A and B are shown apart, each in its own frame.
Chain A
Amino acid sequence: MKALKFIALSLTLLAVSIVGGCDKASTVAPTRGVYMLIDTSGTYTNELEKAQTIINFVLAKLNPGDSFAVASINTGSFTEKDIVAKITFDDRPSMANAQKRQFRDKIDRFVKNVHPSAYTDVTGGLLQAIEFLNEKNPGHKTILIFSDLKEELKKGYVRDIPLQLNGFDVVALNVTKLHSDNVDPREYLDRLEKWRKRVESGGGTWRVINDLERLDNILGPS
């Protein structure tokens, strides 16, 4: 009987020490944070169905614990008011699935009621995305820009600000060619080059995905 008591005590002590040790060594799994900017200016609102597809794809790819936000790009985008939906998924898979459904419904409602904006403040949206993701501090930060990248600022708005994109992966999606681009393709190429330089000079990585059939690598390595 004494031997049994000794074994029980030893096991208890071992369990306590393991739990104590584990508590110190406990960390959080590297999560992902995705911020998606959707251009709602002018005729680009016609492309919103494609944006929905991308959002659904991203939702399916994200795991419990990941963060996701969708914001619109309009006249002045450096504001929380432009965030259409944001969520950090519960760490239980079943709850995360329910949250994804709710998120999708919210996006559906937004797409139905969206109004085209007169200006396109991409930089403001990027600054808001940086702020949001830095606050969430996930393991891997991704900013998706669903826009033609043609920035049009309202008079008085200052956006000539260097972007702090260290550790950020910026992906431009569905960068459509404007009529003027067709006339002079250099405009399009210059526009893309300008954004690439801006992002890379801020310490981020830059990718362009125009073929929406190839979204597999949209979030980078998991």
Chain B
Amino acid sequence: MTFSDVLLILPGHPAISVIFWVIIISVSLYLARSPAHRAILSMSKVLHYGFRIAAHSTRLAEQKLTQRNREVLLAAGREASERIVEREFDRVDATVRRDLAGYPALQRQLSEQILSIDEDYKQSTEVPPAPPGWLKAVESVAKIPSSGDPMVANILGDIHQSLVKAQNTAIDEYRKSSHERHLLLKRMMPHWRRLLQVLGQVDKSVNSLIERSKTIDRHMDEYEQITKGSDRAVRMLSSSSITQFFISAFVLGVAIGGAVINFHLIARPMSEMVGGTSMIMGFKTANIAALVIILVEIAMGLFLMESLRITRLFPVIGALDDKIRVRMVYITFAMLFCLASIEAGLAYMREILSQSDAALVQYLTQNKEAAAAAPQSRWITTAAQMAMGFILPFALTFVAIPMESFVHSLRTVLGIIGVGLLRGFEFLLRLFGNIARYAGIMFVQLYDLLIFAPLWIERQVKGRTNEPGKKKTEKGGRDVSTAAMGGQS
């Protein structure tokens, strides 16, 4: 007996069997209507509240992450501002040391110049020598009329001549004196110029200090904003961080390109040192050795930059005693130099191998003479490869700078992405919660749709027996859904 045979209530009459089954199912569903409605609504409530709780937890997590991001961002911003302000103060200190250290000498110079000018000025203001005192008496005598006496006339003539002579002498002396004064005034000119120059220098230094102080003021304002934890500061830092992230990612991409070129430059000749057939974890040992050399170069570059205090990825190195730090600079630079020299050697070896391969191919293709002669222009590629092998390690040293920016900005960017993801997840949970809530109501309505016939009969029966009762039933029927809606809103 098959399952379909069991379903056939009246064998040979499948349509009647179906009708019977429909009636049986409708009646069963009608009888189980109230508990079924409650079960559906309870299930939807459970799902709805479950999703709501999950959404709430997600929101809390998102808030915590946002708060944490804010703290990290402000801490990073504070540190960066402190570095900038510290650097500005260092510059001011350097300016003050450089310029103000020379101020006593400058002051002495100014005093000397002023003294010289003062002396010259005093000398230039001296009155020219006055004509002798007897000139007036002689002038009066000379004005006496001669009254025809030749002797008197001769005497007066002599007096007149003496007077004219005395006047000429006085004029000469006056001219001489004026000339000397002019010379003195002329001598003052370079002193004035020098004075002007010195004052110009002073003005420049003071202006530079004023400019620096303005910059410091601006940075201090930003620092204050950051320490206050203002939203403006957070927005500013966040924006700056994202910009830094993209810029540093781009530069790192360029650096990776350089590293790849460097790798290809030394990977093949490396097989001359470590063999071309051995493998480590599925990779050629020669390739791994080349990669290790490049990574060691990058590590040395990082240490060099740390020791020079250009980057601050390792606080331990930054906090070292200056003497040890300087030693580290020399050591890391020496190691970089050695590695760069090794790379140049490997690049040379690569060229030799290429030439050997080319010669072998020619030899195997019977062209033995051509195999012996190498083109003269090969030295250009050899030199270029060697130069690249030597320069690239030093160029890779500067990877430390974008790497530091990348690492710092990555934290912010990951935080922002995390917050975004949590927000999205929260939205989905809320959406699913609401879907579950309204799905319950929808299933209740669908349930009633399946038993529309018994419900219709019920309404008809109740309508005939009791009119107000019908209204009450209809109201009660609506109540199920409205209660479900209201109960969960």
With an 8 Å Cβ cutoff, the count of chain B residues facing the other chain is: 25
Task: Please state if B364 and A63 are interface contacts (CB–CB under 8 Å).
Answer: no
Residues of B within 8 A of A93 (CB): 268, 271-272, 276, 353, 356-357
Q: Please name 28 pairs of A and B residues whose Cβ atoms are closer than 8 Å in the assembled complex, sorted by A.
A: A1-B324, A4-B320, A22-B280, A25-B280, A25-B281, A26-B278, A26-B280, A26-B285, A27-B282, A29-B278, A29-B279, A31-B277, A56-B364, A64-B276, A65-B277, A91-B271, A91-B277, A92-B272, A93-B272, A93-B276, A93-B353, A93-B356, A93-B357, A94-B352, A97-B356, A97-B357, A97-B360, A104-B364
A60 to B284, CA, bound (A): 21
Residues of chain A whose beta carbon lies under 8 Å from any beta carbon of chain B = 1, 3-4, 7, 22, 25-29, 31, 56-57, 59-60, 63-65, 91-94, 96-97, 100-101, 104
Closest to B361 in A: A60
Task: Please state if A94 and B353 are interface contacts (CB–CB under 8 Å).
Answer: yes
Task: Please state if A27 and B279 are interface contacts (CB–CB under 8 Å).
Answer: yes
A26 to B316, CA, bound (A): 36
A81 to B208, CA, bound (A): 93
Residues of B within 8 A of A22 (CB): 280-281
Task: Please state if A3 and B360 are interface contacts (CB–CB under 8 Å).
Answer: no
Contacts beyond the supplied A1-B324, A27-B280: 9 A-B pairs with Cβ under 8 Å? A4-B324, A25-B280, A26-B285, A29-B276, A59-B364, A65-B277, A91-B278, A96-B276, A97-B356
Which of B268, B280, B364 has most chain A Cβ within 10 Å? B364
Q: Decide yes or no whether B157 CB sits under 8 A from chain A.
A: no
Known pairs A29-B284, A64-B271; A91 contacts B360 (CB<8 A): no
Residues of chain B whose beta carbon lies under 8 Å from any beta carbon of chain A = 268, 271-272, 275-282, 284-285, 316, 320, 324, 352-353, 356-357, 360-361, 363-365
Task: Please state if A92 and B363 are interface contacts (CB–CB under 8 Å).
Answer: no
A96 to B360, CA, bound (A): 10
A144 to B360, CA, bound (A): 22
A71 to B361, CA, bound (A): 23
Task: Please state if A3 and B279 are interface contacts (CB–CB under 8 Å).
Answer: no
Task: Please state if A28 and B363 are interface contacts (CB–CB under 8 Å).
Answer: no
Task: Please state if A92 and B275 are interface contacts (CB–CB under 8 Å).
Answer: yes
A-B pairs under 8 A by CB, number:
71
Residues of B within 8 A of A64 (CB): 271, 275-277
Closest to A55 in B: B364
A22 to B356, CA, bound (A): 31
A65 to B278, CA, bound (A): 9
Residues of A within 8 A of B276 (CB): 29, 63-65, 91-93, 96
Closest to B277 in A: A65
A31 to B276, CA, bound (A): 11
Residues of A within 8 A of B316 (CB): 3, 7
A175 to B360, CA, bound (A): 29
Closest to B288 in A: A22
A54 to B82, CA, bound (A): 73
A91 to B353, CA, bound (A): 13
Q: How far is the CB of A176 from chain B (nearest CB, A)?
A: 23
A4 to B314, CA, bound (A): 12
Task: Please state if B277 and A28 are interface contacts (CB–CB under 8 Å).
Answer: yes
Residues of B within 8 A of A3 (CB): 316, 320
Closest to B356 in A: A97
A93 to B274, CA, bound (A): 11
Closest to A92 in B: B272
A215 to B194, CA, bound (A): 90
Closest to A11 in B: B299
